[in-house]
């Protein structure tokens, strides 16, 4: 039976309009995006099949175009919609971060870093540049590495911090392995960066490591 033949209160789009998006399951939200299914399979059935195949919403939204489009009923338009949803989530988190007058705790940046870094298949090193009131000036991915390592050059970090007029920085990087525990090299490079930036009066406030749904703050562990 097509979704259009369902009672109005059971249709995902109508349910969203009447009860709010939070009332919908992951499959129902995906069905709203997909709009249509394929012969013999409604949009909701297709959404459920995709969630089952990828074992969850995050792996589904992180799937490649080739992988997604190998499923019947999914084409370039659907892939583009999924990518747009992911990017909107990242930008929403960043907007929340930017509108805060000050970053005063590790907790404030976690939501943004999770949205930005947790699903990347390769390691990146990100820097948040702060002014003397701990307000965000800019953030950027400064280094990209392999799945296992990212080469970080203290001299380049110092140059970029001075160029942005930063008086403080927060570092972040991801562990594609899914394990957020800091390695000995993570702790060592943090100390190297801290000493290099200290020479130009730039404070290192934190270094956060993102893996899966976890963020570990080196500052909270007394390692910064």
CA distance linking residue 95 with residue 83, whole number of Å: 18
Helix (H, G, I), strand (E, B) or coil at 106: coil
**Cα 197 to Cα 14: distance, rounded to the nearest angstrom:** 55
The per-residue pLDDT for 97 is 63
Q: Both 149 and 79 in a single domain?
A: no
pLDDT per residue as tens, the chain (224 positions): 556 666 656 788 888 888 888 888 999 998 888 888 888 888 888 999 998 999 888 888 888 899 988 988 898 988 898 889 888 888 877 776 666 556 666 677 888 898 889 888 889 999 999 999 888 899 999 998 875 666 789 999 999 999 999 999 999 999 998 899 999 999 999 999 999 999 999 999 999 999 988 999 999 999 99
Residue 154 sits in the same domain as residue 198? yes
Cα 167 from Cα 186, distance rounded (Å): 22
pLDDT of residue 187: 94
Q: How many CB atoms lie within 10 A of CB 78?
A: 21
Q: Is 107 in the same domain as 139?
A: yes
Residue 37, in any domain of the structure = yes
Domain stops at, among 38, 57, 89: 89
pLDDT for res 6: 67
- Among 42, 33, 50, which Cα is nearest to 5's? 42
Q: Is residue 8 in some structural domain? A: no
47 and 137 assigned to the same domain: no
Here the tokens at position 142 are: 């400064």
Kindly report the CATH number assigned to the domain that includes residue 52: 1.10.150
Say if residue 106 is in the same domain as residue 188: yes
Q: Which conformational region is residue 17 in: left (phi greater than 0), alpha (psi within -120 to 50 degrees), or beta?
A: alpha
Answer for the pair 157, 142: CB distance below 8 angstroms, yes or no: yes
pLDDT value at residue 18 = 87
pTM, rounded to two decimals: 0.65
Number of domains observed in the structure of the chain: 2
Show which of 40, 67, 89 is a domain's final residue.
Answer: 89
Choose the final residue of a domain: 89, 119, 134: 89
Which domain range does residue 27 map to? 14-89
Q: Which residue has the tokens 């948040």?
A: 128
């Amino acid at each position: 039976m097509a979704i259009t033949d369902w009672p109005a209160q059971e249709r995902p789009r109508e349910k969203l309009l009447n009860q709010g998006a939070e009332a919908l399951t992951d499959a129902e939200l995906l069905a709203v995006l997909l709009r249509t299914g394929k012969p013999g399979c409604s949009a909701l059935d297709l959404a459920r099949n995709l969630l089952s195949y990828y074992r969850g919403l995050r792996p589904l939204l992180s799937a490649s175009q080739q992988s997604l489009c190998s499923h019947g009923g999914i084409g370039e338009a659907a892939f583009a919609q999924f990518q747009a949803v992911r990017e909107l989530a990242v930008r929403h988190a960043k907007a929340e971060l930017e509108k805060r007058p000050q970053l005063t705790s590790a907790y404030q940046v976690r939501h943004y870093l999770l949205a930005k870094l947790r699903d990347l298949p390769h390691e990146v090193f990100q820097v948040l540049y702060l002014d003397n009131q701990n307000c965000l000036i800019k953030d950027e991915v400064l280094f990209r590495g392999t799945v296992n390592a990212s080469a970080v050059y203290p001299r380049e970090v110092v140059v970029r911090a001075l160029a942005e007029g930063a008086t403080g920085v927060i570092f972040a990087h991801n562990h594609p392995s899914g394990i957020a525990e800091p390695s000995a090299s993570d702790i060592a490079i943090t100390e190297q960066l801290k000493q290099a930036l200290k020479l130009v009066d730039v404070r290192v406030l934190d270094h956060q490591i993102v893996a899966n749904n976890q963020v570990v703050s080196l500052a909270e562990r007394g390692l910064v």
